[in-house]
Structure 1
Amino acid sequence: MNPLYWMLLAHSRLKTAEKMEVLRAASGNLESFIEDGLPGLSDKLRLALEEVLGEAAVMGLLLGELQNQGVKVVAGAAPEYPLRLKQTLRQSTPLVLYVAGEPSLLSSKRSIAIVGSRNATPKALELARRAGRYFAREGYVVVTGMARGVDLEAFQGAREVSGKAIGVLPFGVSAKESLKLLREYQEDIFSGRLALLSELHPLAPWKAQYAMMRNRIVVALSDVLLVAQTGPKETVEQGRKRMSGTWDAVEQAKRLGRPIFVFDLPIEGNQALIAQGMAQPLPASPGDQAFMQLEDALSPPAKKSRETPIQPPLLTPE
């Protein structure tokens, strides 16, 4: 399947509702739909889409560069597109994914998201690293946002035991921020132990809004969410409220029915999650007993969460 038209649609200025209308009219087969002359679209939407298609040559060059770099471009209708994203995110499912590494990691049977503050305490960082090491050794894929602090410590823990991990990026796979990661972890990527994933335009730079956007993907790819450390839900900076990214991930997990655990550390944010019933406390004890406790709590119903056997018709394979 040629993902070019999916890339054009995903990164166009069309509104989400308009993109969904195009997919409905195309019945998931964009190539045939475009070749047939865009049947069934309103005149306004047809003109808008024709303008989008005018960028095909430029996008085609970018697609070729990505393929030369070894980046897999996975269209929403491709058979290798992770089913759990479709089942969980429904209409907020990304239309296209860019993957540096092994795409099959995105469909792993057991996975855990480990998240937390960039400026975490040494104790929280130690716990994150130990958790990454333990769960990777037990066969889980460790999912993180690859940010400094808790995310990277959890990933490094998985690396220590040659475990598998997914890094969901808040920038494009060809942005300068990604190139550093690709160089530093190329051995993990080429060996199939790490998949770096982005839904953003390949050249998109880091933005705070992208960091929040990726939380739904981090959560949707995981069976359970483990918080190492978080600050308060909201802080005020320069007179403006700013929501914690970790709290946002917790709320996404709550909405999607994922089990949530947090280390029982004497930290305001952690204790607030426990007090509000947002997360189950996990002892911050030495050894692996706490991690075993988390595994024991993952009953089969909890693992399934809200994943239903219904696949959204808008992203069905061609």
Structure 2
Amino acid sequence: MHSDELKNTLGLAIQIGKLASDQSVLKFFELIDFERIRDIRDLTQMVNRHGVLKEIISETDFLIANAELENHHSHGIELVPFGSEYYPLSLAFTPNPPAILYVKGGKDILTQLPGVAIVGSRDISPAGEEITRRITCQIVAAGYIVVSGLAIGTDANAHKAALQAKGKTIAVLAHGLEEAKPKQNSRLAQEIIEKGGAWISEYPMGRPAQKQSFVQRNRIQVGLSAGSILIEAALNSGTMTQADFANKAKRPVFAVVPHQPNNPLNLNCEGTV
């Protein structure tokens, strides 16, 4: 088996069986010499030898993981493990990168990164929509992929503007990729794939979105991007976690703020002023 296949099988086995934290998967990738492993039996022995899991892993666990791997493939979802030639270097060199990226829409787009992340308020104003459109068009014209989170508001506007400008865009999701959420943006999500973009997640199929997973997906958006542009971010908004992750990753953050003290555009920018 190829080392990428072994990593994917191991990662799925741990994630499905909840045998360790998702971050522990990356630790195994660093500990194990996958080039020396010939088959599942070798992998089972090697993993148990390190004794990091909550319980002993069996060959049956790996067989279940292999079946789940095929299930992902049948849904058009590819797995890209850390260390793969397709794994974006811009993401690899950030704190706490995902061990596995789940990709729907074709993994070749990962070789065209870094892009530029455009995120902001769900309750975007008409002026904010126009600013998002103009900035996105400039980003596409400069040859960058637009990265966002498919949320209602700024995210959706950035994706739409990228597609209208004949660019490619990536939606980073906080759940498994059997479908894209929110449902209000499901047609937009399909159009992203149809026009050469992709959905990306760090979670396998069947993993529902949770409050913390929305926060953590922001670090992936940062990692896939050369910089982040924040549009209409309130003081305690989730958008501000994007800025926090960008600072930790030493990536630039750009924010749209009112150009005059009396805020003539009525933009909601308390978080980025």
When structure 1 is superposed on structure 2, of 250-259 and 23-32 the one drifting more is: 23-32
Cα distance, 1:78 vs. partner? 2.4
Residues 173 and 179, structure 1, Cα contact 8 Å, conserved in 2: no
Task: Name the structure 2 match of 1:64.
Answer: 70
Cα distance, 1:48 vs. partner? 1.8
Out of 190, 197, 200, the position equivalent to 1:197 is 200
CA distance in 2, matches of 1:146, 1:30: 41
Structure 2 unmatched ranges of 5 or more: none
Task: Name the structure 2 match of 1:134.
Answer: 138
Instruction: Count how many residue pairs are aligned between Structure 1 and Structure 2.
Output: 260
Q: Does 1:114 align with 2:121?
A: no
CA distance in 1, matches of 2:85, 2:114: 20
| Residues 21, 103 of structure 1: alpha-carbon distance in 2 compared, 3 angstrom cutoff | closer
Cα distance, 1:214 vs. partner? 0.2
Out of 6, 9, 12, the position equivalent to 1:7 is 12
User: Share of identical aligned residues, percent?
Assistant: 25
Structure 1 unmatched ranges of 5 or more: 234-243, 275-318
CA distance in 1, matches of 2:46, 2:63: 23
Partner SS for 1:55: helix
When structure 1 is superposed on structure 2, of 252-261 and 182-191 the one drifting more is: 182-191
When structure 1 is superposed on structure 2, of 65-74 and 33-42 the one drifting more is: 33-42
Task: Name the structure 2 match of 1:35.
Answer: 41
Kindly report which structure 2 residues correspond to 1:1-318, keeping only aligned pairs within 5 A, or say none.
1=2, 2=5, 3-11=8-16, 12-15=18-21, 18-19=24-25, 21-28=27-34, 32=38, 35-36=41-42, 37-39=44-46, 44-45=51-52, 48-50=55-57, 54-89=60-95, 92-175=96-179, 177=181, 184-192=188-196, 194-233=197-236, 244-265=237-258, 266=263, 270-274=269-273
Q: Deviations over 1:130-176 (max 9, x none)?
A: 22222112211100011010001011000102101111001110146
Query: RMSD across aligned C-alpha pairs, in angstroms?
Result: 2.9
CA distance in 2, matches of 1:103, 1:187: 16
Cα distance, 1:110 vs. partner? 4.9
CA distance in 2, matches of 1:269, 1:164: 28
What TM-score do you get using the length of structure 2 for normalisation? Answer: 0.82
CA distance in 2, matches of 1:71, 1:84: 22
CA distance in 2, matches of 1:46, 1:273: 42
| Residues 33, 253 of structure 1: alpha-carbon distance in 2 compared, 3 angstrom cutoff | farther
Cα distance, 1:66 vs. partner? 1.8
When structure 1 is superposed on structure 2, of 144-153 and 70-79 the one drifting more is: 70-79
Cα distance, 1:28 vs. partner? 4.8
CA distance in 1, matches of 2:235, 2:220: 23
| Residues 49, 133 of structure 1: alpha-carbon distance in 2 compared, 3 angstrom cutoff | farther
CA distance in 1, matches of 2:106, 2:245: 26
